Chains A and B, each alone.
Chain A
Amino acid sequence: MFKLSLSGRIALHVANLVVIAVILLPIAAVLLGSIQSENIKKFYRAFGNSLIVAVSVTFLTLLFGALSAYTIARLRYRWTLFLLQANIVSRFVPAIVLMIPLYIVMRSLGQINSLSGVILAETGFLLPYAILILAPYFDAIPSELEEAARIDGCTRLRALVHIVLPLATPALAACGVIMFIVSWHELLIPLILNARPDFMTLPVVIASLVGDVFVFFNLMMAICLLALAPTVVLVILLQKYIVEGLAAGAVKG
């Protein structure tokens, strides 16, 4: 095969996107039509809240998780070992134990009924898992590359940003998609920290409808479709990364 020029590739990409759009058009119409009835519209806000929370949590856990996982993988001191073990133990802390004190702490900080409180709490709760997923990947990256960079006068942080992170893109993808899915699914933390409808995420809205005799199954199923669609799409598209990330977070190390 001959090599395509950049403009040629872009043209082909555009052509592909047009074909894909036309193929998916009727399916998208069915899906969008089914979630556009008046009953469903009031759940758009919850969808938006869920999206804000999940994206922020993914970003924050990746940022802080990468920094910590890197130090655990590279610096072999007693305290990094201890940090790793602390993270492993933290992963087992059940959410219900944290809920009661978190509720009281967040209440006194005035973070009840806000998205920022939920984001902070979920970030802290998921950070250990992110570190456990990322650490084995960082460990597998050969350290000679950054050593060369450090000899050339790079600081550790710059070596991390310019050399390790680009090499670790698959790891970040795996960890990021898992973080997004877990935070999108999280029920207990936002359920307890948010009582006002304006700030509810989708799982909380769904939980609040459970047991309501005036809400019928068909409406419930429509909301569920709204809630499960994003993660189902992610799982189908990024399956390879999720499989790797789940395995890395559980066994390696």
Chain B
Amino acid sequence: MNLPTLVFLAAVLAYPVLYAGYLSVHKVGLAQLRRGEFPFNGWENYSRVLEDSLFWVAIKNTLVFTAITVVSEIVLAVAIALLINQTSVWTSRVTRFLILLPYAIPPICNGLIWSFLYSFQFGFLNRILFSAGVIDHPINWAGNPDTALYAVTVPYIWRTLPFAIILVHAALQGIPRELYEQAAIDGANAWHRFRQITWPMLQQIIAIILILRTAFAFAVFEEILAITQGGPGDATWVAAWYSYKITFSPPNNFGMGAASAFILALMIAAIALVYLRAVYRRVQL
């Protein structure tokens, strides 16, 4: 019964990953692709990637992007999950109903919608801030090298936050009510109840979110493509964008693309191993 799964895993996941490793130590360009033979060139692709200053810019941007999105997502997810857990407040119930909506927006559309919001000439953001008197001239949010990387984190957080909120909310509902009642009798205020009960009970799920979101934020692609295409200059080149551009735009260096993607995969694999150890240690199901 596992045959189809094994075939698919082998054909679409295992074989390509190994093949990517194979390609990454061979010279593969359009000419080689047409002829169908890839000359071996050892570590040359890797050394060329590692010597490329743009690659290190991409890695730095990826790390900054990941740090900002993961930290803000965890803080926001805990806050919003606590908010929608207040079922006696009717606006909380409305929020809870709407919370999943960003999950329904295709990533590429999300990027486009935000690039519309950020637009220098007719973006909503500039218009609102201008009307409110916060700024006196329009700001080019996604077109300024100083703000562009931060500008692309916001749509990404907006789109992926529901996932984190749902996990935290599910964990909150697993905390026995008696604990809070007991604490209230003992005279604990709201902060103490959060610090002594909620936070310790949430730690496991927060670790899971931390690892999952870090792994996925490392491979961010759609929002970059839709909003900045890596620009202005190299301000928003991230690792996945680097591999994509090196491979699929002239001069189409497939070997170097595979090498850079492989480096990215190794970094994510390290995160995946941590996840496996942390979460599925008692993998009894």
Contact = CB atoms under 8 A, between A and B. Distances in A.
Contact of B265 (A91, A94, A231): A94
Interface in A85-121: 85-102, 104-105, 107-108, 120-121
Contacts of A234: 104
Nearest to A248: B170
Contacts of B97: 239
A242 B103 contact: yes
Contact of A124 (B9, B166, B167, B280): B9
B8 A124 contact: yes
B272 A88 contact: yes
Interface in B218-246: 218-219, 221-222, 225-226, 229, 240, 243-244
B280 A206 contact: no
A67 B5 contact: yes
A70 to B, nearest CB: 7
Contacts of A81: 283
Main secondary structure of the interface of A (DSSP, over half): helix
Given A64-B4, A211-B229, A93 B222 contact: no
A250 B20 contact: no
A86 B108 contact: no
A163 B100 CA distance: 32
Interface residues of B, number: 71
B221 A187 contact: yes
A251 B229 CA distance: 34
A203 interface: yes
B219 A95 contact: yes
Nearest to A70: B1
Contact of A246 (B36, B107, B166, B218): B166
A29 interface: no
Interface in B84-98: 97
A93 B19 contact: no
Contacts of A252: 285
Given A71-B2, A181-B104, A242-B103, A105 B19 contact: yes
A188 B122 CA distance: 29
B201 to A, nearest CB: 13
Given A94-B240, A94-B265, A96-B221, A203 B285 contact: no
A67 B1 contact: yes
B106 A184 contact: yes
Nearest to B111: A210
Given A67-B2, A100-B254, A231 B104 contact: yes
Contact of B2 (A83, A217, A239, A246): A83
Interface string B1-23: 11011001101110111011001
A118 B226 CA distance: 21
B190 interface: no
Interface in A195-253: 202-203, 206-207, 210-211, 217, 220-221, 224, 227-228, 231-232, 234-236, 239, 242-243, 246-247, 250-253
A151 B24 CA distance: 54
**Residue among B23, B103, B285 having the largest count of chain A Cβ atoms under 10 Å:** B285
A223 to B, nearest CB: 8
Contacts of A250: 163, 167, 208, 212
Contact of B116 (A63, A88, A221): A221
Interface stretch (A1-9, A18-26, A39-47, A127-135): A127-135
Contact of B106 (A83, A88, A131, A228): A228
A68 interface: yes
Interface stretch (B69-77, B130-138, B142-150, B255-263): B255-263
Interface in B168-205: 170, 205
B269 A89 contact: yes
B126 to A, nearest CB: 14
Among all A-B residue pairs, the 5 with the closest Cβ atoms: A124-B12, A94-B219, A92-B272, A101-B19, A101-B16
28 contacts: A64-B8, A68-B4, A71-B2, A90-B9, A92-B269, A92-B272, A93-B13, A93-B268, A94-B218, A94-B219, A94-B264, A94-B265, A95-B219, A99-B243, A101-B16, A104-B19, A104-B23, A105-B19, A124-B8, A124-B13, A125-B12, A127-B5, A188-B221, A203-B107, A217-B116, A243-B170, A247-B166, A250-B167
Given A94-B218, A96-B244, A239-B97, 11 more contacts: A65-B5, A67-B5, A96-B264, A98-B16, A124-B12, A139-B285, A206-B108, A231-B105, A235-B103, A236-B104, A253-B279
